[in-house]
Amino acid sequence: MDLYQELCRILGEDNVLKDEPMSRHTTFRVGGPADLFVTPEEEGQVQKALAAIRAAGVPFYIVGNGSNLLVGDLGYRGVILQIYQKMNRIQIRDSVIHAQAGALLSKIAAEAQAGALSGFEFASGIPGTLGGAVMMNAGAYGGEMKQVLIEARVLSAEGAFEDILAEDMELGYRTSVFSRNKGLVLGASIHLEPGDPEKIRERMEELKTQRTSKQPLEYPSAGSTFKRPEGYFAGKLIQDAGLRGFQVGGAQVSEKHCGFVINKDRASAKDIRSLMEQVSEKVYAQFGVRLEPEVKMIGEF
């Protein structure tokens, strides 16, 4: 209760919710209640809120739009701090886009196209926020964040604001210094190249067509469910294991794209996790390749 009151003082009561269902905040559309769910509106509030949470010794987890997250059916015992719609400003200066961590990649790509800037088309269909994309070095269709990042605005683990250059982020396949709990991304600067707005739009439409034709976007999911094993493609391994359409409860390996686990019919988080575990075991048994989840799993199942 003391922490709740302190967070209300820092953020305002409207930005501190009790027992908030996480199914409202994940693209899987599953997940039980978080004890506290907070939505800061600016950097200083993030800094003060995290200091209060740490001082109280309460567990916490940072989320964006929940596009790569599975929260257990029994919820999360602690504080979920969301950086999303209340911290999503985007500014363009010359060939550089400055955006807050809560800005959607699709929105940044649209702003880049409108500003005749090329190089971010690859991210136009990635269903996540800039903060998560920097943390995971998100990529698609031959592009990834490390190709366009200049620097990131970060709140360090010690609670200090820092500007970290891209070359110091240790950006690799779905990893960075931030994915190892070395700072919270609050925003980033992206360098793009001048381009023809119509050609940029055409490329974005081309990628959108590829996505809609090959991916099960009509169902709740977290996108690509497993990391790409070195030398293999997760979806191909799952398909070759005969698991297309494999189902546990309401969760299913997509019949459209085997790299996706979907919430087909009111799945529980337990259904989804069990399906992921069984897929990993079956693929390992047949091919000796261990599939690792790209989806983060938190809370009580």
Based on the fold, state whether residues 190 and 235 are members of the same structural domain. no
Element (H, E) at 79: strand 76-82
**Do residue 183 and residue 271 come from a single domain?**
no
Q: How far apart are CA 115 and CA 101, in angstroms?
A: 20
pLDDT at 1: 65
Catalytic residue among 153, 174, 203, 273: 174
Tens digits of residue pLDDT in 225-247:
999 999 999 999 999 999 999 99
E strand map for 141-254: 143-144, 149-155, 161-165, 184-191, 193-194, 221-224, 247-248, 251-253
- Please say whether the dihedral angle defined by the alpha carbons of residues 202, 205, 209 and 215, taken in this order, is positive or negative: positive
The string over 133-170, giving b where at least 16 C-beta atoms fall within 10 Å of a residue's C-beta and e elsewhere, is: bbbbbbbbbebbbbbbbebbbbbeeeeeeeebebeebe
Q: Does 73 share its domain with 173?
A: no
Say what the pLDDT of residue 293 is.
96
Same domain, 135 and 188: yes
Q: Distance (Å, rounded) from C-alpha 137 to C-alpha 178?
A: 10
Q: Is residue 23 part of a domain?
A: yes
Greatest distance between any 2 Cα atoms in the chain: 55
Is residue 183 located within the same domain as residue 106? yes
Element (H, E) at 125: none
* Number of Cβ atoms within 10 Å of the Cβ of 16: 22
Q: For 46-50, 96-100, 181-185, which range has the lowest pLDDT when averaged over its residues? A: 181-185
Contacts of 233 (CB under 8 A, 6+ apart): 259
Residue numbers of the domain that contains 248: 217-298
Range 121-137 average pLDDT = 96
Q: In this predicted structure, what is the pLDDT of residue 218?
A: 96
pLDDT above 90 (res 180)? no
pLDDT score recorded for residue 62: 97
Inside any domain, residue 286 = yes
The catalytically annotated residue of 23, 189, 224, 254 is 224
Residue after which a domain boundary falls, among 59, 82, 105? 82
Q: Per the structure block, which two tokens stand in for 102? A: 């809560």
In the chain, how many domains are there? 3
Residue 76 forms part of a structural domain:
yes
Asked about 224 being catalytic, the answer comes back as yes
Together in a domain, 233 and 281: yes
Who contacts 224 (Cβ-Cβ below 8 Å, separation ≥6)?
234, 235, 259, 260, 294
Answer whether 265's CB lies under 8 Å from 200's CB: no
Active site residue 95: no
User: Among the three residues 82, 105, 137, which one is the final residue of a domain in this structure?
Assistant: 82
CATH code for the domain in which residue 249 is found: 3.90.78.10
Q: How far apart are CA 294 and CA 136, in angstroms?
A: 10
Residue 97 sits in the same domain as residue 75:
no
End-to-end CA distance of the chain: 25
Give the up-direction half-sphere exposure of residue 60: CA atoms within 13 A in the CB hemisphere: 24
Average pLDDT, the chain: 97
Within a domain: 28? yes
| Overall pTM > 0.85 | yes
Specify the CATH number for the domain of residue 115. 3.30.465.10
Question: For residue 22, what is the domain's CATH number?
Answer: 3.30.43.10
Same domain, 96 and 181: yes
- pLDDT one-digit tens code per residue, 242-260: 999 999 999 999 999 999 9
pLDDT exceeds 90 at position 134: yes
The rounded percent of the chain whose pLDDT value lies above 90 is: 97
pLDDT digits (tens, 9 = 90+) for 59-91: 999 999 999 999 999 999 999 999 999 999 999
Under the banding of pLDDT at 50, 70 and 90, the label for residue 148 is very high
Q: What's the confidence (pLDDT) of residue 179?
A: 87
Query: Which amino acid makes up residue 224?
Result: S
Residue 178: closest CA among 157, 159, 160: 157
Within a domain: residue 272? Answer: yes
Known catalytic residue: 174? yes
Q: Are 27 and 66 within 8 A, CB to CB? A: yes
The residue among 36, 64, 82 that closes a domain is 82
The 10s digit of each residue's pLDDT in 270-289 is 999 999 999 999 999 999 99
**Angstrom distance (rounded) from CA 101 to CA 131:** 4
Please indicate, yes or no, if residue 158 is contained in any of the structural domains: yes
Above 90 in pLDDT, residue 207?
A: yes
Is 212 part of any domain? no
In a shared domain, residues 100 and 157: yes
Same domain, 267 and 233: yes
Q: Is the pLDDT reported for residue 23 higher than 90?
A: yes
Considering the domain architecture, whether residues 185 and 102 belong to the same structural domain is answered as yes
Q: Tell whether 40 and 100 lie within a shared domain.
A: no
